[in-house]
């Protein structure tokens, strides 16, 4: 039995080397929800100071929703599934530009440009400029309907 385990480990290591990553053993394999085989959606972008200007250029042809959030933010985590659902339903009508503020100082330059004080905050950007109202915070009661209404106005 020990030989089979060593052989499995060797085959796993060789496969990882060929594929350019670490292959997981069945006991440590990631849940299916973490693995995505779908192609990258070009209308969902992780915004940083480095690509911010490119995102603003994109806003000249399609509305951009700047989503200021953090992984530790409860309301952000509650809003995210609705944003994902509505973005998918809108078939790329708008660009979901996610600005992660999880680490202190992370994307501070971008957040400072918009005077972000609370998260989640959603900002509608068109032609490189903020347009219309903002969504600040998320309430599970009326939040999903309010969010849908706001996104319909893009």
Please give the backbone phi and psi of residue 14, each rounded to the nearest 5 degrees, phi first. Answer: -65, -45
What are the structure tokens assigned to 138, written together? 């998320």
Choice among 45, 55, 65, 73 that is catalytic: 73
- Burial degree of 56 (CB within 10 A; 0-12, 13-18, 19+): middle
Measuring CA to CA, how many Å separate 88 from each of 10, 63, 83, 84, 151? 41, 15, 8, 6, 12
Choice among 45, 58, 64, 76 that is catalytic: 76
Residue 13: CB atoms within 10 Å: 12
**Is 76 in the active site?**
yes
Query: Which residues are designated catalytic?
Result: 73, 76
């Amino acid at each position: 039995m020990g030989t089979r385990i060593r052989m499995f480990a060797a085959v796993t290591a060789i496969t990882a080397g060929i594929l350019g990553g670490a292959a997981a053993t069945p006991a440590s394999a990631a849940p299916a929800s973490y693995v995505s085989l779908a192609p990258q959606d070009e209308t969902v972008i992780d915004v940083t100071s480095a690509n911010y200007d490119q995102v603003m250029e994109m806003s000249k042809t399609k509305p951009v929703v700047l989503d200021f959030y953090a992984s530790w933010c409860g309301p952000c985590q509650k809003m995210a599934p609705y944003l994902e659902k509505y973005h998918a339903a809108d078939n790329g009508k708008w660009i979901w530009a996610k600005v992660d503020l999880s680490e202190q100082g992370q994307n501070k330059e971008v957040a400072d440009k918009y005077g972000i004080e609370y998260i989640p905050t959603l900002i509608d950007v068109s032609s490189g400029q903020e347009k219309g109202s903002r969504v600040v915070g998320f309430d599970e009661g009326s939040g999903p309907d309010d969010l849908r209404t706001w996104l319909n106005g893009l």
